[in-house]
Amino acid sequence: MGDGQERLADYLNRRVADGWATGFSVAVTDESAIRLRAEVGGTAAALGGEERPIDARTLFNVGSVTKPVTGTLLAKLVEEGEATLSDKVRSIIPEYPFEDTEVFHLLAHTAGYDPANVPVERPLRAKGEEGQRAYLSSLYGIRERISPVGETARYFTEGYSIVMDLIERVAGCDLESFARETLLRPLGMDDSTFDPAKLDPSRVVFPVDGAGRALLELADWGVTGDSGLYTHADDLLKLGRLFLSGGCAADGRVVLRERTIAFLLADASGGRLNQTPAFWVKGAEDRYGCFGDLHSPSAVGHTGFSGCMLWIDPACRAAGAILTNSMTLHGDWRRYKRINNRLLSLFEHEQPR
C-alpha cells in the first residue's frame, strides 16, 4: 500500500473530529487482496466498559449488513436445488400465516407487513432453542398486513429472521452451523459469527446510539438472520472477494458457482426495487442514497444500523467495508456516500499504472 493508507487515515480522523463516529475500520479489496485500509480512533462500548483502540481485529455488530450474508446462504440452497425465490413460505414453514407470500417477498421487504407494528421481543440466548422458537412463533402470530403482497416495499427487518428459519428447516441445522460449513470456513472467515456466545469479549465492540449509550444488551441476544453478524473488515472482504472472483475462495476452491454469483448480483425485481436476492443495487439513481457518486450503476451493497456498510462494484473490480459502532453515522446516509467517494478515489490511486 502506498500513501493512500495515510491519506485515508487522515480523512477518517477528520470524520471522527466531526462527530460521525469515535472510530473506524475501513478497507477496500480487489479480487486478490486488500489494497487500501485504515483503522482509527477507539471506543468504550465494550462489555468491560474500558476504552480500547479500533484495530484490524476489532469485531463489530454489523447490523443489517448481516442480510446479504443470510441471502447468500439462501442462494446456496437455491444452487443445490433445495429452494427457489418463488417458493411459498408456507410450503416450508407450515405455521406461516399467509398463503401467498414467496421467499423473495421477504428478501425484498414486499411481504406487506407494517414495520411500525411488530409486537415481538428478540430471543435471548439464555432461553436457548425454546426462546428462539417463541420468537419465531410470535412473528408467525402477526396476522395483519397493510398492503397486498409484492406491491410495496416497506423495510421489515424481521423478514430475514423468517428466512433464517426457512434456511434452518431446509438445511437441517442451525444458521450458525450452516454458515460455518458452507461459507465462513471455506472463505477463512474464522472470526465471524452469528452467535454472541462465541465472541471474544476482549475484541468485540457494540453499537452506540445517538445519546451515547452502548447497546451491550445485544450480547445477550440469540442468533438472528437480520442483524446478528459479528465480523471485521478482513473477514467481510473475503466475502467481497468471493463475488469478484466468480465464486472461488483464496485457495481456489469453488464456494458458489459462477451462475450463483451472477444470480446474487442481478436485480431480481425487474428494476422496480433495485434489489437482488442479497443486496441493494445502486442503479442509475441510487434510490437508497448510500452508494458513492463514483460507484458504477452495477454496484451492490447494504448498510447496517450500527454505522456499517459492505459494497461490491463488479465494474470497478472492487469491494469495500466501512465498519463503525456509530448509530449517529447511520443517521445520515450521505455520510456513507462521502466515505465511499473517498475510498474509490484512493483505491484508484493505489492501483498499478
Q: How confident is the model at residue 59 (pLDDT cuts 50, 70, 90)?
A: very high
- Mind listing the pLDDT tens digit for each residue in 46-56? 998 999 999 99
d(CA 287, CA 307): 19
Domains of the chain: 4-66+179-350 (3.40.710.10), 70-171 (no CATH)
d(CA 150, CA 107): 11
pLDDT at position 353 is: 46
Query: What are 311's three cell numbers?
Result: 459494497
Q: How confident is the model at residue 349 (pLDDT cuts 50, 70, 90)?
A: low
Extended strands (E) in 34-149: 34-43, 52-53, 59-61
Q: What is the pTM assigned to this prediction?
A: 0.96
d(CA 202, CA 247): 33
